[in-house]
Amino acid sequence: MPDEIINKVAQSKLVTFDLEDYYPKGERIVLDIKDWLFEGFILKEKEFRDYIKAHNWEQYKGAYVALTCSTDAIIPGWAYMLITTKLQPFTVRTVLGNLEDLETSIYQSIIENIPVSDFKDKPVIIKGCSNKPVPPNAYLILTAKLLPVVKSVMYGEACSSVPLYKRK
C-alpha cells in the first residue's frame, strides 16, 4: 500500500481568519468639496450652503462616502458636519478622509462586533492576500482584538505563515 498523503493543516485546530470575508457590499464614493469653494480654496458660507441645497443627495443611497477637499483649503469643521446632515439619511457610513480612511472605519466597526470567544485558545492565521481593498489598519485592529483570547497569531497562509504571537 503506497504512503498515504495526510493533510496536517486540515486536521489541525488552526483557524484561518480572512478579513476579505467581512468586506461589505456597497459603492464607495469620494465626495471632494473643492468645487464648492470659491476658486477651490475659500469657503464662502452663503455660496457653500447654496451648493449643499442644490446638490442631489439621493445619489449616495446605500453608499459609503469619504468626504475630502483635495486642495489646501482650510475647511471649518461645521462645513463637513453640515454635509453629513444631508448625507446621513442616505449613506451607510460617512467619514472625513480618503478611501483608505473609509475602509478602515468600516472594518473597525465590523471587527468591534466580531465575537472573539470563538477563537479562545486556538491558533489563528490571519490571511494576508485579498482581492478586495482590506486596509492595513484592519489587520492591526484584528490582531489587537484577538491577542487576549487566542493561543497564537500567524499571518499569511497555512503553508507559509509568519508567526507573530504565541501565548506563554
Number of domains in the chain: 2
**pLDDT greater than 90 at residue 161:** no
Based on the fold, state whether residues 113 and 75 are members of the same structural domain. no
Question: Which range of residues forms the domain containing residue 149?
Answer: 8-24+104-166
The three cell numbers of residue 56 are 442631489
Based on the fold, state whether residues 85 and 110 are members of the same structural domain. no
Based on the fold, state whether residues 77 and 119 are members of the same structural domain. no
**Strands of 28-32's sheet in order across:** 28-32, 64-68, 93-96
Residues near 31 by Cβ (< 8 Å), separated by ≥ 6? 60, 65, 66, 67, 68, 83, 87
Based on the fold, state whether residues 85 and 126 are members of the same structural domain. no
**pLDDT greater than 90 at residue 159:** no
pLDDT on residue 133: 87
**Tens-place pLDDT, residues 8-30:** 444 468 999 999 999 999 999 99
Q: Give dist(CA 48, CA 75) in Å, integer.
A: 11
Mean pLDDT of 115-132: 91
Query: Residue 123 in contact with residue 152, Cβ under 8 Å?
Result: yes
